[in-house]
A and B are shown apart, each in its own frame.
Chain A
């Protein structure tokens, strides 16, 4: 069975690489960039113009991945795989060091959590063994870890603005842009654990590749209130309780390293919300003792997790509060493992214009609602893990058209609140605790355009990603993964979420194919 899957994955990889070369389609183009800055701790973004044949690079990427994959599978499970010339190091990942468990106990493949690890996190980073309080640790223990991924990557975008005569801005044209080279990711410096029995904390200063820092999360959580696992109160900036966590998934490339669904806003929409962005507020969360049943209720500021009462665009945010509700339930399917399904609903408002003072915006007003609802799943069939996800998103008509709510006459004729359906299926095949093959297909389909003059497919996205991670060492001190990934997205009338390119400038073709290929060493200690 392994041989069959291997062949299938390899074939798919090469096929994908060859198939998704650039193409043009006859649709009217219309583009407005409208997506929130990507807040995932430091994913790489580099653009440098170069002109290379897209088809050859796609094929090469596929072939290279095939080669690396073969190497990893062959060596993934044999003793030779562990004879790396690494001497004993002293520093160790925080929780593994505290409790002596290997990384694989809590992570299917770090950073993705398995059920035991999720229970540990939901307990407030506690094993509940009466030794969780920091008083029991050696004073030299410091709960900090750092993660960075030096890599080599290649970015390719079609229908970009390219001057036909280099250096002459008057010779504008549209063409493909390919860039590649060695690069760094940002760095995560994460400290988390317990301040005391049943009081946990997390602080994650995260930088992009230019060492520009922001706080990805910073919170205090009061765990097991009233002695019950059903009441845990979190205060601060934190990741939403998404069953499928974008912060903990196994994709790192520019095009693969985000869920489209978690950030999508249609072209022309002035909403800055992304479900994958960490938010600031409070959360009441509860779970059963074995973590099979989980719920959360959160109240968050309407600023997409940005500080100083600013929106993601740097403009003043409104004074309303969003609500987020989740629920998930796990089922014990015997030797298959645990199957988990859940649902979520995010309901919020965003301002459409500002109260000003002397002409300067003071705070946002004219708040109009939006929501994101859907279901998620985390299913296991032996070594295969499949995660389906569905979202229905809807923004108010004023948000969707970028029109202040007190100027209804400025709405274009036939304007409506944009609505869309998005979803993905992600799979991971865990050949061993040290080798995982990953893949994902995602799509976004507009259901109702904000402006009826827009073509019906404006803003539609298809995204594909495939890759593998091989962990040559797997113990409680540090982690290292060889990460190889290929991702390609098809963006109609919208700039790719990867940020590596802009929306199509080709008047005959609104589609931008954006692809990334990446090989890097992801390490943390």
Chain B
């Protein structure tokens, strides 16, 4: 009995070794060999320098722990779970990002990526990684940059200037409403911002996946932040990779702020703009032309 036990005990590691090295028709689902294009990428966020490399807590090691399940070992958004996720995880190899402070078509700054990782994206599977330390998140930004050669050849764009916000009053809201009509935002976002405009159902992102425009009436957090400045930045830089274009070339800054103030009235949040609009709407209901085709002759709201 003793001999049998000893023999077995010594056999176990051998058996395990054999199991592991035998050829198999089905390889395991996940490949943990992360394949960056540039393994020594770096990121500068505030006073911190993030590193993709590093055995201990380097960005690539952290990526393997936290990110590979969705974003994939090559950073191209084809992780093991990507097929069940909508919207799909970001493809870092293209270096096209939604939330930037830089103009459309240009690379985001390291701070933009840091904020995206910290904040996460509501209504998607991208969590807020705030529980990680600042240094860990800076390292992850470096890891994100390691997957595309564009970071080695191009510099990030120059962040757009966001001038001081204009005063919030009903005149600004009404001008913004006129812009919402004129710029034809309602064609995708719908006359009441419900995401049900005439073109909404045919929208596809740059990878030909169906995509819905933001539905203001849910009040969920914008993809790129919560403040009026964030909202300004969204439509003045566009959400690259999606149908949402940049209006930087066609809107003056004060017009942009008017539009921001109007957009707030479409959300069910307690904002100054919303209460101003409610008061105005009650008093002037018959004068308000609905938003929609034919310059408001038809449509609702």
Q: Is A in direct contact with B (CB under 8 Å) within the complex?
A: yes
User: Which residues of A, 3-48, contact B by the 8 Å Cβ criterion?
Assistant: none
**Residue B250 CB within 8 A of the other chain:** no
Tell me whether chain B's interface is mostly helix, strand or loop, or mixed. loop
Q: Are A129 and B133 in contact (CB-based, < 8 A)?
A: no
CB neighbours (8 Å) of B126 from chain A are 129
CB neighbours (8 Å) of A434 from chain B are 32
Q: Are A82 and B121 in contact (CB-based, < 8 A)?
A: no
CB neighbours (8 Å) of A119 from chain B are 130-131
**Residue B165 CB within 8 A of the other chain:** no
**With the chains together, A334 CA to B133 CA distance in Å?**
7
Name the segment of B21-29, B228-236, B292-300 touching the other chain: B21-29
**Residue B69 CB within 8 A of the other chain:** yes
Partner of A290, one of B16, B25, B69, B131: B131
Size of chain B's interface in residues, with CB distance under 8 A? Answer: 60
Interface readout for B120-135 with A: 1 if CB under 8 Å, 0 if not? Answer: 1111111111111111
User: Which residues of B, 106-142, contact A by the 8 Å Cβ criterion?
Assistant: 120-136, 139
**With the chains together, A83 CA to B122 CA distance in Å?**
36
State how many angstroms separate the Cβ of B299 from the closest Cβ of chain A: 28
Q: Are B9 and A60 in contact (CB-based, < 8 A)?
A: yes
**With the chains together, A96 CA to B64 CA distance in Å?**
15
**With the chains together, A475 CA to B84 CA distance in Å?**
14
Residue of A whose beta carbon sits closest to that of B126: A129
Tell me whether chain A's interface is mostly helix, strand or loop, or mixed. mixed
**With the chains together, A335 CA to B51 CA distance in Å?**
10
**Residue A482 CB within 8 A of the other chain:** yes
Between A and B, how many residue pairs show CB distances below 8 Å?
A: 160
User: Which residues of B, 73-102, contact A by the 8 Å Cβ criterion?
Assistant: 79-82, 84-85
Partner of B28, one of A70, A86, A334: A86
Q: Give the one of B19, B132, B133, B135 with max A CB within 10 A.
A: B133
Q: Are B16 and A482 in contact (CB-based, < 8 A)?
A: yes
State how many angstroms separate the Cβ of B4 from the closest Cβ of chain A: 10
Number of contact residues on A: which range applies?
35 or more
State how many angstroms separate the Cβ of A20 from the closest Cβ of chain B: 18
Q: Are B127 and A130 in contact (CB-based, < 8 A)?
A: no
Q: Are A67 and B122 in contact (CB-based, < 8 A)?
A: no
CB neighbours (8 Å) of A104 from chain B are 64-66
CB neighbours (8 Å) of A80 from chain B are 20-21
Q: Are B13 and A71 in contact (CB-based, < 8 A)?
A: yes
Q: Are B24 and A475 in contact (CB-based, < 8 A)?
A: no
**With the chains together, A334 CA to B21 CA distance in Å?**
39
**With the chains together, A476 CA to B80 CA distance in Å?**
8
**With the chains together, A67 CA to B11 CA distance in Å?**
10
**Residue A118 CB within 8 A of the other chain:** yes
**Residue A411 CB within 8 A of the other chain:** no
State how many angstroms separate the Cβ of A333 from the closest Cβ of chain B: 7
State how many angstroms separate the Cβ of A392 from the closest Cβ of chain B: 31
Q: Are B32 and A82 in contact (CB-based, < 8 A)?
A: yes
Q: Are A128 and B128 in contact (CB-based, < 8 A)?
A: yes
Q: A82-B27, A115-B132, A333-B133 are in contact. Are A105 and B66 (CB under 8 A)?
A: yes
User: Which residues of A, 87-135, contact B by the 8 Å Cβ criterion?
Assistant: 87-88, 96, 99-102, 104-105, 115-116, 118-119, 127-131
Q: Could you tell me which B residues sit within 8 Å of A by CB distance?
A: 2, 5-6, 8-10, 12-13, 16-17, 19-33, 54, 56-57, 64-66, 68-70, 79-82, 84-85, 120-136, 139, 220-221
The contact sample of 16 A-B pairs, CB cut-off 8 A, is: A67-B10, A68-B13, A82-B30, A85-B22, A86-B28, A99-B127, A100-B82, A102-B30, A104-B64, A105-B65, A128-B128, A129-B121, A129-B122, A129-B123, A130-B123, A433-B65
Interface contacts beyond A71-B17, A129-B127, A333-B133: sample of 15 additional A-B pairs, CB < 8 Å, sorted by A = A64-B13, A67-B13, A68-B13, A71-B13, A71-B16, A82-B27, A105-B65, A127-B127, A129-B124, A129-B126, A131-B125, A289-B130, A433-B65, A472-B20, A472-B28
